[in-house]
Amino acid sequence: MARAREKPVTARPPAAGVTLWRRIADDLERAIAAGDIAAGEKLPGETEIAARFGVNRHTVRRAIAELAGRGLVRAARGSGTFVEGGRLAYPISARTRFSEIVGTAGREAGGRLVASRLEPADGAIARRLKIPKGTPVVRLDFVRSANGVPLSAGTTWLPAARAPDAAKIYEATGSITRVLAAAGISDYRRYSTRVTAAVADAIDAARLDLSPGRPLLVVESVDVTPDGKPITTSTGRFAADRVELMVEN
């Protein structure tokens, strides 16, 4: 909405396969994520939003229904539509542990293993882990959440030879640190982090309980043991509406 104030988003460019209601829902969600409308505050009325976007009120209703369906807002007949529940600040440092970050923010860390398998490392994973292409790696696909709200969907690969029981341990504990400890690796640190952004496709949308097309932070990282040898590489896809990355120099 802050941007809408400086230039009306009603100046709609040609449709790019995204319905009007979806665009309005995204804009409202964006305003909420930006803190323009805080939790507990009321959205403008349907007729006002319709006027701002230059669309029919029904279209706005469709957008709000979407947000309500996602638990971002709650509509009350006669009163208005109210915003429910902020972004977690996620520091990227040499020693970043999900459960610590979430715990520090006063939320309860959770997650689940979606899938796991032993597979040969393809070119990209092999390069990241500095192993020959085709080397067996354990692949863990998981979703991480805070207070039950999914924050990221990710995949971690680690050399099977170094952590053959990775999947079983991760399924039981949900912790890479535990997986590595069981493999005799008590210390590791972040070596590199590569950040890009994407929009959620159908799979991520389902895993992260997002609408397709919502922005994601895509974080590819490599962790090394004290001798500098890569021990894991991961790709995490964070819901940008729920998480922001912090880099401290």
Q: Which residues of the shown chain bind DNA in the complex (CB under 7 A)?
A: 15, 17, 19-22, 43, 45-48, 54-59, 61-62, 64, 75-81
Shortest Cβ 228–DNA spacing (Å): 45
DSSP 156: E
The DSSP secondary structure of 82-117, one letter per residue, reads EE---PEEEEE-SS--HHHHHHHTT--EEEEEEEEE
CB of 28 closer than 8 Å to CB of 63? yes
DSSP 41: P
Footprint on this chain of its own copies (rule: CB under 8 A): 3, 7, 9, 11-13, 16-19, 21-23, 25-27, 30, 33, 35, 62, 66, 87, 89, 92-94, 124, 189-199, 201-203, 205-206, 211-217, 240, 243-249
Pick 79 or 249: Cβ nearer its own copies:
249
Pick 56 or 93: Cβ nearer DNA:
56
Residue 248 interacts with which of DNA, its own copies, none, CB < 5 to 8 Å by class:
its own copies
Pick 7 or 77: Cβ nearer DNA:
77
Distance CA 160, CA 139 (A): 9
CB of 234 closer than 8 Å to CB of 220? yes
**Residue type for 158, please?**
L
CB of 124 closer than 8 Å to CB of 168? no
Residue 196 interacts with which of its own copies, DNA, none, CB < 5 to 8 Å by class:
its own copies
